[in-house]
């Protein structure tokens, strides 16, 4: 699988403030690549650099294995801020203006309206659209000319739950249609639900990047309880496959290396060591806690 975008040691200063620090990662073709991080982590700055809106202080990047140029830039559909649509013009008329500004074929408008499911409302004024419809029209503008790559900055920001669901469904459909999508988000839930790959930023620093299922693995853990927790913790550290034992309130949380967990074997092991368990339960480690663990480890 070839890479659509490659970043090599991108650094950006605003005066003395380092917004990005030596960021490198690659975006595979056909992926939905999420750039995840809290507000102020450098996501928007990074998207600004790779879309040639901002200049990096140092470092390089390439699109389609070529140096950035106007040719590459025209293969991107970008939504980095709220588009300036005319409120008293129809959706279709706004797209005609957008096509003229971008130098795109106006005959493509009906196709993109169909893709974002606004054909029936194409003659309605923009100010009658819901927030979700306005965002879909903005995405339609990005799709003019059928670019192979889409770049979105916080595409669901400010939307109600229905609007969020609409945009996420649209991103999944665009991905199925063969688009490579790069999106910035501060929402872990969004990355989990729509992205195939992720890069996590914190304070301009790249913490990790890779396949979502590997970076944000939803780990299994076992909760155990007994009358003597200290002794239980001691014997569990010698149990095969145990990675970590944590005290949590009045129980122990035990994390294992990859592999299927057998509660029966754990119970038998403890019993043979002279400990009768009063609590034994398999749990999933939440993605949220995994994300917090990653970012906390990076800042320590």
Q: What is the CATH number of the domain that holds 96?
A: 3.40.50.300
231 in the same domain as 209? no
225 in the same domain as 203? no
230 in the same domain as 211? no
Residue 268: its pLDDT value, please?
93
- Angle CA 47–98–68, to nearest 5: 35
The domain of 273 spans: 220-284
Given 182, 215, 248, the domain boundary residue is: 215
Detail the DSSP E strand segments found in the chain: 3-14, 17-28, 32-36, 58-63, 76-79, 149-153, 180-185, 197-202, 205-211, 220-225, 242-248, 251-256, 279-284
Residue 139, domain member (yes or no): yes
Q: Tell me how far apart the alpha carbons of residues 116 and 126 are, in angstroms, rounded to a whole number.
A: 15
Q: Tell me how far apart the alpha carbons of residues 10 and 192 are, in angstroms, rounded to a whole number.
A: 25
| Domain harbouring 227, CATH code | 3.30.70.100
Given 197, 215, 233, the domain boundary residue is: 215
Q: Which residue has the tokens 């663990």?
A: 293
Pairing of strands 149-153, 205-211: unpaired
120 in the same domain as 197? yes
Residue 293, domain member (yes or no): no
Rounded to the nearest 10°, the torsion over CA 134, 138, 144, 148 is -130
Residue 217: its pLDDT value, please?
65
Residue 269: its pLDDT value, please?
92
Residue 297, domain member (yes or no): no
240 in the same domain as 201? no
Residue 54: its pLDDT value, please?
94
Q: CB neighbours of 199 closer than 8 A, spacing ≥ 6?
A: 23, 25, 33, 34, 35, 36, 206, 208, 209
Residue 275, domain member (yes or no): yes
Bridge partner list, 74: none
Contact 150, 141 (CB under 8 A): no
123 in the same domain as 30? yes
Burial of 232 (0-12, 13-18, 19+ CB in 10 A): buried
Tens-binned pLDDT, residue by residue, of the chain (300 aa): 689 999 999 999 999 999 999 999 999 999 999 999 988 899 999 999 999 999 999 999 999 999 888 888 889 999 988 778 999 999 999 999 999 999 999 999 999 999 999 999 999 999 999 989 999 999 999 999 999 999 999 999 888 898 899 999 999 999 999 999 999 998 888 888 899 999 999 899 998 899 987 777 656 778 899 999 999 999 998 888 888 888 877 899 888 876 657 889 999 999 999 999 999 988 765 566 666 666 665 554
266 in the same domain as 164? no
Quote the number of domains for the chain: 2
Whole-model pTM: value is 0.77
Residue 141, domain member (yes or no): yes
140 in the same domain as 107? yes
132 in the same domain as 110? yes
Residue 266, domain member (yes or no): yes
Residue 24, domain member (yes or no): yes
Residue 22, domain member (yes or no): yes
Given 192, 215, 238, the domain boundary residue is: 215
88 in the same domain as 70? yes
173 in the same domain as 59? yes
84 in the same domain as 12? yes
């Amino acid at each position: 699988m070839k890479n659509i975008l490659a970043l090599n040691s991108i650094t950006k200063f605003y005066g003395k403030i380092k917004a990005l620090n030596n960021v490198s990662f690659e975006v595979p073709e056909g992926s939905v690549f999420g750039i995840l991080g809290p507000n102020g982590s450098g996501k928007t700055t990074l998207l600004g650099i790779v879309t040639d809106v901002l200049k990096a202080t140092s470092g390089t990047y390439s699109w389609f294995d070529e140096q950035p140029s106007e040719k590459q830039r025209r293969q991107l559909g970008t939504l980095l801020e709220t588009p300036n649509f005319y409120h008293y013009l129809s959706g279709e008329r706004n797209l005609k203006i957008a096509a003229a500004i971008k130098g795109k074929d106006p005959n493509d408008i009906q196709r993109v309206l169909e893709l974002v499911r606004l054909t029936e409302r194409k003659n309605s004024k923009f100010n009658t659209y819901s927030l979700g419809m306005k965002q879909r029209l903005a995405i339609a503008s990005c799709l003019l000319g059928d670019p192979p790559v889409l770049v979105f900055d916080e595409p669901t920001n400010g939307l109600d739950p229905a609007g969020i669901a609409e945009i996420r469904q649209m991103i999944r459909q665009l991905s199925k249609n063969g688009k490579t999508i790069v999106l910035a988000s501060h929402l872990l839930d969004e990355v989990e639900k729509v992205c195939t790959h992720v890069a996590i930023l914190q304070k301009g620093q790249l913490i990790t990047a890779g396949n979502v299922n590997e970076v944000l693995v939803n780990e299994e853990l076992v909760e155990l309880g007994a009358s003597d927790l200290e002794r239980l913790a001691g014997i569990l550290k010698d149990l095969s496959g145990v990675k970590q034992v944590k005290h949590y309130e009045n129980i122990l949380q035990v994390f294992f290396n990859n592999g299927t967990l057998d509660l029966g074997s754990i119970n038998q092991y403890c019993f043979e060591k002279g400990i009768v368990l009063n609590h034994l339960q398999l749990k999933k480690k939440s993605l949220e806690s995994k994300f917090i663990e990653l970012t906390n480890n990076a800042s320590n």
